[in-house]
């Protein structure tokens, strides 16, 4: 008999297992793959983290806490997880990326700079904005390394007393009981962090999750991108990218992926996809797409409104869920772990999570 069983040990599940074990709970963590695997959403070498959040100002308090916790995770684990290289958001003045980020920055007094096209070119000669484009620069932004984050949280969870089982798929769960391909376990509470397996494991939430194939492209750049800020650029779509790490720069386009499942995703990245991102990015950052090195696929699990689901399960008082992170969740990993631990141990959390109530999505096609 365990106090808590955590289903899924990727970004969110690894953090939840650690925080629960840290609070003295007897924790069992289960994952269908090996530790720190590349089959879900917690891999690819880098994820953007920022605080001037255009998606909704309600996320900012969580991001302020997350940045504190990334530092703590680095200290406690010895892993270099968070790289503060700064972040630049580029787009038309009225674009969601710019206008929404300004609202969040101003509402919470976040340090930021507004740059016109001439200032962007002068500060960041790798970037070629149109004359009508502007930018918001946030010095405190940067990137986190998902594989190192998952490893750090798993190692700390074990150190705190958690029992973790890998390559043990969950075949069925209900309140108080989890069945796998190897055994049947009982616990007072179940935490479900399923990533792209949400449609399979959380059918009874009555929420439509769309799993989207996302491709991450790695190039040897023609210009120097060492120490370059992370960036998001909205112009007839949105692409984003990172400084040079381990001899490559990573870039990707947001929101163009095909609908898939973890079983049907096409893991092959095709020549036409490499040509497409090269043609898309070159007019804006011509020095970035030098020589194509490799590509990797991952999955976004999207909700209808692009916001998360973090809550006690509406049908089971002793089940808590965290899912539907819609391609922008990894930067929240440590604070989501804390929230899940709060919900299990206290039944509530001080963190603002009203936006993530699944009731808003029930029956939404």
In this prediction, residue 362 carries a pLDDT of: 81
Average pLDDT over residues 108-136: 98
What confidence tens digit (pLDDT) does each residue in 227-257 have? 999 999 999 899 999 999 999 999 999 999 9
Lookup: tokens for 95: 């674009």
DSSP calls for 320-365: EEEE--TT--GGGHHHHHHHHHHHHHTSS-SS--GGG-GGGTTT--
Q: State how far the Cα of 184 lies from the Cα of 186, in Å rounded to an integer.
A: 7
In this prediction, residue 365 carries a pLDDT of: 46
What confidence tens digit (pLDDT) does each residue in 102-120 have? 999 999 999 999 999 999 9
What angle is formed at CA 262 by the lines to CA 257 and CA 265, rounded to 5 degrees? 45
Residues in the chain: 365
In this prediction, residue 363 carries a pLDDT of: 61
Burial status of residue 108 (CB atoms within 10 A of its CB: 0-12, 13-18, 19 or more): middle
Q: Establish how many alpha carbons lie within 13 A of residue 177's alpha carbon, considering only the half-sphere containing its beta carbon.
A: 6
In this prediction, residue 364 carries a pLDDT of: 53
What confidence tens digit (pLDDT) does each residue in 281-337 have? 999 999 999 999 999 999 999 999 999 999 999 999 999 999 999 999 999 999 999
């Amino acid at each position: 008999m365990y106090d808590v069983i955590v289903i899924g040990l990727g970004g969110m599940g690894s953090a939840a297992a650690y925080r629960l074990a840290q609070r003295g709970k007897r924790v069992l963590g289960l994952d269908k793959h090996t530790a720190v695997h590349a089959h879900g959403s917690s891999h690819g070498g880098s994820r953007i983290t920022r605080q001037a959040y255009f998606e909704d100002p309600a996320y900012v308090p969580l991001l302020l806490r997350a940045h504190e916790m990334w530092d703590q995770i680095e200290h406690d684990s010895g892993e270099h997880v968070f790289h503060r290289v700064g972040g630049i958001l580029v787009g038309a003045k009225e674009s969601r990326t710019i206008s929404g980020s300004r609202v969040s920055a101003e509402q919470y007094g976040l340090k930021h700079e507004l740059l016109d096209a001439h200032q962007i070119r002068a500060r960041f000669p790798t970037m070629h904005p149109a004359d009508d484009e502007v930018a918001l620069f946030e010095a405190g932004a940067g990137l986190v390394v998902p594989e190192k984050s998952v490893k750090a949280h798993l190692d700390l969870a074990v150190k705190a007393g958690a029992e973790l089982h890998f390559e043990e798929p969950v075949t069925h769960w209900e309140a108080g009981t989890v069945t796998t391909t190897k055994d049947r376990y009982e616990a007072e509470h179940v935490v479900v962090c399923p990533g792209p397996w949400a449609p399979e494991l959380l059918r009874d939430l009555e929420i439509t999750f769309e799993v989207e194939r996302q491709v991450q492209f790695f190039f040897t750049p023609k210009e120097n991108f060492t120490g370059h800020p992370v960036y998001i650029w909205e112009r007839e779509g949105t692409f984003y990218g990172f400084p040079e790490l381990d001899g490559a720069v990573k870039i990707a386009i947001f929101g163009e992926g095909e609908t898939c499942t973890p079983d049907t995703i096409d893991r092959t990245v095709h020549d036409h996809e490499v040509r497409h991102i090269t043609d898309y990015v070159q007019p804006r950052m011509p020095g970035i797409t030098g020589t194509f090195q490799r590509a990797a696929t991952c999955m976004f699990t999207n909700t209808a409104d692009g916001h998360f689901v973090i809550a006690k399960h509406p049908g089971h008082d002793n089940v808590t869920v965290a899912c539907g992170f819609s391609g922008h969740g990894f930067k929240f990993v440590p604070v989501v772990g804390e929230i899940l631990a709060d919900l299990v141990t206290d039944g509530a959390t001080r963190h603002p999570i009203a936006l993530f109530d699944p009731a808003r999505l029930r029956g939404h096609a």
